[in-house]
Amino acid sequence: MEEGEEEDVDISDISLSQPHDSTYDPGASATDVSEVTVVEPTSEFEDSKYIVFESSLKQLFQTCPICKRYCNLQKRSSGTFVSYIQSCPHCLYNRKWDSQPIMGSTPVGNLQLSAAVYFSGGSYIKMEKICKAMNLQVHQYNAFRRHSRSFLEPAIYHKWKKDQETFFEELKRKGKVAVGGDMRADSPGHSAKYGSYTIMELESEKILDIQLVQSNEVGGSFYMEKEGLKRGLDLLEANSIEVDYIVTDRHTQVKTFLRGKNITQYYDVWHLEKGLSKKLEKLSKEKECQLIKKWLPALKNHIYWVASSSKTGPEKVAKWTSLINHIQNVHTHDDPEFPKCGILIEFLKTPASGTVALYKVEKLLVNKRVLGDVKKLSSDYQTSSLEAFHSVIIRFAPKSVVYPFVGMMCRLYLAGMHFNENVKRQQATSKGQAYSKICSELMRLVFTEVFPEPGRFVEQLSAVPVPEISAHSLRRCQKK
């Protein structure tokens, strides 16, 4: 019986025999009378479960099956588990019945409920509230955390590493690979505790690696992105995976780091468009620049057109700078890389030459820094799939919840496995019902390998270096 969760309810004076005898066979005292059919044997964790009312259970045991008189009952419960000892004072018939199998001293239902909540990205607190609302008995939060530390998180870490090894072997056979990288902070601004840097193989859109960085490791949240990228690239190099180029945002530290490593870097178009659009929208609110508001849709489209239609850096710059002429209805240009516009679409109905709006737009869009960024825009792959993955992370690790380092890492790996399972694929179904292969595989791993011999799995997870906890982080974390 799990510590701290046992509840005894005496319904008679009968002494309680050992309720969790490991030799006890539930099938020896139970008969399926609902159907006369051959039932295929299933693993305990794969067995179907039902919600049963306590009053219905008592009906099964309050009458002696031998003499048909009332019996004495004693109940013992622990979370989802309940056990009844039935004893007849008249004919001395007695039996013990358990609602679910026991593994060691752990009820299978308790462990499986913890696993189902964790592996599906659920919240124990929300699940507990739902169950309390209908008086459905569940184990306590400390048992959920004990299950997580001892079995669930070691299983997640083990599976992530095994899947990663398999993917790495596939990539070695491909030769050079194009990757994308981006960081997600667990909170906005410069107060983030964690930063997770994700590296994706852009052709397959599968997550290659996720590096979790704690801000106090690197002297502040501003430095987490560079450190996460460095660790990720070091892992790829250690596994003999050669990077052709990487697509990222325009983070200055990342730019400097990659230049020092002689790794070709391209910029994601959306990140540049987003940054410039914010500045243009701010300009458009000025009194003499209201024309910019009308230009905005075309200006945004121009960024994507430049990237997608160009093969070289100089060609991108030539097409980008042609925008200023185009605004003034001039469609021939001095740059030999792009001497003339192609199919023309009317840009303006009012002349823009000589206006304050044109002057400020030119100053913003055709300065040295922007031209350097345009030159490095990615013409092929973008990091939009990484942004989609960040949305998946929210399901497993909401920003409103503080997790310990290992808990956060395992939730990131869960998100990565779920994302890789579903990328570019239709949702898997069984008998018309959608299901998660990852959850099933993790559940099987827990019950067939981790729980029977947890030592090597716990040891593997324990080898992960965990940063020291800052004084601020020692405050009680919100339970989830």
Task: Give 430-443 pLDDT, tens digit per residue.
Answer: 566 655 789 999 99
Q: pLDDT band for position 471 (50/70/90)?
A: low
Structure tokens at 318: 């030539």
What pLDDT band is residue 470 in, cutting at 50, 70 and 90? low
Res. 354 pLDDT band, cuts 50 70 90? confident
Whether residue 331 has pLDDT greater than 80: no
Instruction: Give the pLDDT confidence of 388-425 residue by residue, as tens digits.
Output: 999 999 999 998 888 999 999 999 999 999 999 988 77
Cα(295)–Cα(284) distance, integer angstroms:
10
- Could you report the per-residue pLDDT of 201-257, keeping only the tens digit for each? 999 999 999 999 999 999 888 899 999 999 999 999 999 999 999 999 999 999 999
Q: Which of 33-42, 101-110, 284-293, 410-419 has the lowest mean pLDDT?
A: 33-42
User: Quick one: pLDDT band at residue 330, thresholds 50, 70, 90?
Assistant: confident
The first and second tokens of residue 258, run together, are 């990659």
Q: What percent of the chain shows pLDDT beyond 70?
A: 84
Tell me which of 387 and 25 has the higher pLDDT.
Answer: 387
Q: Which 8-state DSSP code applies to residue 94?
A: E
Strand ranges, E, within 80-147: 81-87, 94-98, 102-103, 106-107
Give the CA distances from residue 33 to residues 36, 38, 243, 319, in Å, rounded to whole numbers and listed in that order.
7, 12, 63, 78
* Res 31 pLDDT > 50: no
Q: Which range is least confidently modeled, 10-24, 88-102, 124-138, 169-183?
A: 10-24
Q: What is the pLDDT of residues 440-462, one digit of tens each?
A: 999 999 999 999 999 999 999 99
Identify the pLDDT of residue 427.
Answer: 59
What's residue 402's pLDDT?
86
Task: Give 32's contacts (C-beta < 8 A, 6+ positions apart).
Answer: 39
For the whole model, what pTM was predicted?
0.84
Q: What are the phi and psi torsion angles at 95 (to 5°)?
A: -160, 160
Question: Which pLDDT value is given to residue 472?
Answer: 52
Tell me the pLDDT of the chain averaged across its residues. 85
Q: Where are the domains of the chain?
A: 6-104, 153-262+408-474, 269-375
Exposed (0-12), middle (13-18) or buried (19+): which is 216, by Cβ within 10 Å? middle
pLDDT > 70? residue 352: no
Residues 427, 136 contacting (CB under 8 angstroms):
no
Average pLDDT over residues 334-348: 69
Least confident piece of the model among 137-141, 255-259, 348-352: 348-352
pLDDT for 397 equals 93
Say which residue the tokens 């050992």 belong to: 18
Pairwise pLDDT comparison (400 vs 178), residue with the higher score: 178
Q: Which of 2-16, 104-118, 254-268, 364-378 has the lowest mean pLDDT?
A: 2-16
User: Mean pLDDT throughout 55-67?
Assistant: 93
- On the 0-12 / 13-18 / 19+ scale of CB atoms within 10 A, 111 is buried
Distance CA 374, CA 303 (A): 8
Q: Is the pLDDT of residue 317 over 70?
A: yes
Question: Which of the residue ranges 8-17, 70-79, 144-153, 350-359 would you say has the lowest mean pLDDT?
Answer: 8-17
What mean pLDDT comes out for the span 136-162?
97
Q: Where are the alpha helices (DSSP H) in 70-190?
A: 108-119, 124-133, 141-147, 153-174
* Average pLDDT estimate for 350-373: 86
Residue 210 is encoded by which pair of tokens? Answer: 């996720």
- The reported pLDDT for the residue numbered 24 is 36
Question: Which letter does DSSP use for residue 398 in this model?
Answer: -
